[in-house]
Structure 1
Amino acid sequence: MKTNLQDIREKRGVRNSHNIVSIIFLSLVSIMALSFSIFLLVKNASLQRQEAAFRSELDAITSEGYYTATEAQRLIDEASNEAEQRTKASIRETFRRKLESGEGAISAVRTLFPDQIVVSSSGRYFFFPISDEIEHHGFDENDFEFTDNGFLKYIGNDDIYIKQGVDVSRFQGNIDWDKVAADGIDYAMIRAGYRGTTEGKLLQDDKFIDNIEGALASGLDVGVYFYSQALNKKEAIEEAQLLLDMIEPYDIKYPVVIDIESAESDEARTATLSSDVYEENAKVFCDTVSAAGYKPMIYGNVKSFALLMDAVDVDDYDIWIAYYGAPLYYPYHFNMWQYTSAGKVNGIDGNVDLNVCITEY
């Protein structure tokens, strides 16, 4: 009997426990439902506030006015036209200032195309993108200045080798080389010979012997150059060999140079020569000189290394660039720079070409 009573009590205890768990579970569900309802109410209120804000902004835009696609395109076109007119005005102003300063049209054009080499020939302008395939000279526009005697002086921060030189031919007449050496000149580039521009005859410069012997006797270092009018590689080799024969008795420390320039005449034998032939002639001339144990070099102006040759294709050779004035417009590496044709040097009557050499030979 006692056992049955105990069983009944235990069963009642289990039922009571189940009831308590159920009550707790239902309470938690009710709390979660209430929380979710509160969350929905808050979210709904937030959405209503956002909608009200959007409507307020839309009303403001509508009240201030807005643009259709057509109207927006019209405004874009007007702004573009205005910018184009301002650009044209700026270009005209640049040209006007350049021309008024006496720099000339080519200088004005070059200012507008700083990433290209601009040259003019026969009334036309030619544009060549500046290449990164070859070394640039790296000089800043403020690295050089002219001294009181008209010599070009390096004032940059780098420690570079630089020597002052002249280049001469029969056009300078009789030269007092002792006075030249005493006037701060370190070396002389002497024209040894040339080929005639029409008949193509090979000729020695009338003052070659006097100039080379006078310069050497005065203690100047000497290089030589030959004005080429070769029509093909055979003639270029012929020019180089003649030059080598002429300089054989002398101590030549500076380069042996081929002078590549366009003849300013329609009757010149090279008037229709292609740039490929000019390049081939320059290369075979230099290779012939190098094989004889001398340092070859190519002389030319900016037009020579743009129109007559591709600077990239002759990059393996030393370069003597002719460009008058500073800063140097030519962007690529060079070894010698002819910076004026109107130099004044004691011992030379009249004007003479002045040069700086930045390579030790």
Structure 2
Amino acid sequence: MGISRRFFVSGAALALAGCGGGPGGKQATLMRPAVLSASNYRASGIPARFGDTDPHDWEGLAPARLPVHGIDAARYQGEIDWRRARAAGVSFAWLKATEGGDHSDPGFHINATRARAAGVPVGAYHFYYFCRSPEEQADWYIRNVPRRRGDLPPVLDIEWNHTSRTCQRRPAAHVTRAEMHRFLAALTRHYGTKPVIYTTIDFWRDNDLSRFSGYEMWLRSVTAHPMERYPGADWSFWQYSGTGVVPGVPGTVDMNAFAGSPGAWQSWLARRAQRA
């Protein structure tokens, strides 16, 4: 999800036994990033309680005009102080849980448990891998993410992975959309609520996702409002920075806004949270 990996303490990583690793038996790690102060990275156009290490010069439809904000994170953020994050205005969080058919993120269960305890609505996202079938990937996600009453809907994070060393496959647009439908249908059946789709500008354009209906969208756009980068698109969440500084979150983190008022957010939660 465009997660920034900067500001890590060199060599500081916690190896977690029993967590899923990648090919070759490499053990996954939970990073220990440097702690930053939001007050040192104030930026116009974003909520005053947050900061940004690489801010955009927001004008007009700036993120700060929306009242409900949250984060998405992975092992690169290390262990998050959720009570502090919530006090700073973090109203929701999605955490990376799985990727492909055999990768799991060691930070998910640690941070999800603590987020729930702090009263932050939390959910899990899956990073899609184009060299595994949708069914394999859905099964892997289901095996790693239990149904939990009150959790946010699952998220399909689907974007081109330009840095992948193992999969350069780029299906045709109609094939991509068909694979998405198969993955999403499997998760809907299991969790009883439709997943949210996270994507990027180029992936949206290349796969004509304006034709993809029936699911809520979470759109990445770090230099303009989504209405400028995704003309005519309906969206529920907007990722407006990949270099955010949020109290309680080590290093930098993706920042997001919900497309509605605090009252609309509470209504969305009541309607969309898992009921298992």
Query: TM-score normalised by the shorter chain: which range applies?
Result: 0.5 to 0.7
User: Do structure 1's residue 279 and structure 2's residue 177 form an aligned pair?
Assistant: yes
Alpha-carbon distance between aligned partners in 2 of 1:175 and 1:266, rounded to the nearest angstrom:
27
Q: Tell me by how many angstroms 1:170 deviates.
A: 0.4
Cα distance in structure 2, aligned partners of 1:204 and 1:241: 13
Aligned partners of 1:229 and 1:270 also within 8 Å? no
Q: CA deviation at 1:248?
A: 1.8
State the secondary structure of the residue aligned to 2:257. Answer: strand
| Residue 344 of structure 1, CA deviation | 1.0
| 8 Å contact kept, 1:236–1:285 | yes
Residue pair 1:231, 1:273 contacting (<8 A) in 2 also: no
Contact map agreement 1:177 1:215 (CA 8 A) in 2: yes
Would you say the 8 A contact 1:262–1:271 is kept in 2? no
Q: Separation in 2 of the partners of 1:168 and 1:190?
A: 5
User: Equivalent pairs: percent with the same residue?
Assistant: 25
- Unaligned 5+ segments in structure 1 are 1-143, 156-161, 196-200
Q: Based on CA coordinates, which of the two structures has the bigger radius of gyration?
A: 1
CA distance in structure 2 between the aligned counterparts of 1:266 and 1:340, rounded to whole angstroms = 22
Is 1:176 aligned to residue 60 of structure 2?
no
1:255 Cα shift? 2.1
1:32 corresponds to which residue? none
2:200 paired with 1:298: no
Check 1:231–1:277 CA distance in 2 against 1; reply closer, same or farther (3 A cut).
Answer: farther
Residue 153 of structure 1: aligned partner: 64
CA RMSD of aligned residues (A): 2.2
Q: 1:337-356 CA distances to partner (integer Å, 9 max, x unpaired)?
A: 11101111111111100011
2:239 to 330, 338, 344: 338
Q: In 2, are the aligned partners of 1:177 and 1:214 still within 8 Å (CA)?
A: yes
Cα distance per residue 1:251-295 (max 9 Å; x no partner): 353221111111114744243432222212211111111112023
Measured in 2, the distance between the counterparts of 1:184 and 1:215 equals 13
- Equivalent residue of 2:209, what SS? coil
Superposed CA deviations along residues 172-192 of structure 1, whole A, max 9, x for unmatched, are 112111111111111110111
- Per the alignment, residue 139 of structure 2 pairs with 241
User: Which structure is higher in helix share?
Assistant: 1
Q: Which amino acid aligns with 1:264?
A: H
Mapping for residues 131-280 of structure 1, pairs under 5 Å: 145-150=45-50, 152-154=63-65, 163-195=68-100, 201-231=101-131, 235-265=133-163, 267-280=165-178
Counterpart for residue 348 of structure 1: 249
> SS of 1:167's equivalent?
strand
Report the CA distance between 1:147 and its aligned residue.
3.1
Q: Do the aligned partners of 1:188 and 1:221 also contact (CA within 8 Å) in 2?
A: yes
Runs ≥4 residues deviating over 6 A:
none
Amino acid across the alignment from 2:93: A
Of the structure 1 ranges 202-211 and 265-274, higher mean CA displacement relative to structure 2 is found in 265-274
TM-score normalised by length of structure 1: 0.52
Q: Which has the higher contact order (CA 8 A, sep 6+)?
A: 2
Point out where structure 2 has 5 or more consecutive residues left out of the alignment.
1-43, 52-62, 260-264, 270-276
State the alpha-carbon separation in 2 of the partners of residues 281 and 318 from structure 1: 17
How many matched pairs?
204
CA contact (8 A) 1:342 1:352 kept: yes
Per the alignment, do residues 252 and 280 of structure 1 end up closer, same or farther by CA in structure 2, a change over 3 Å counting? farther
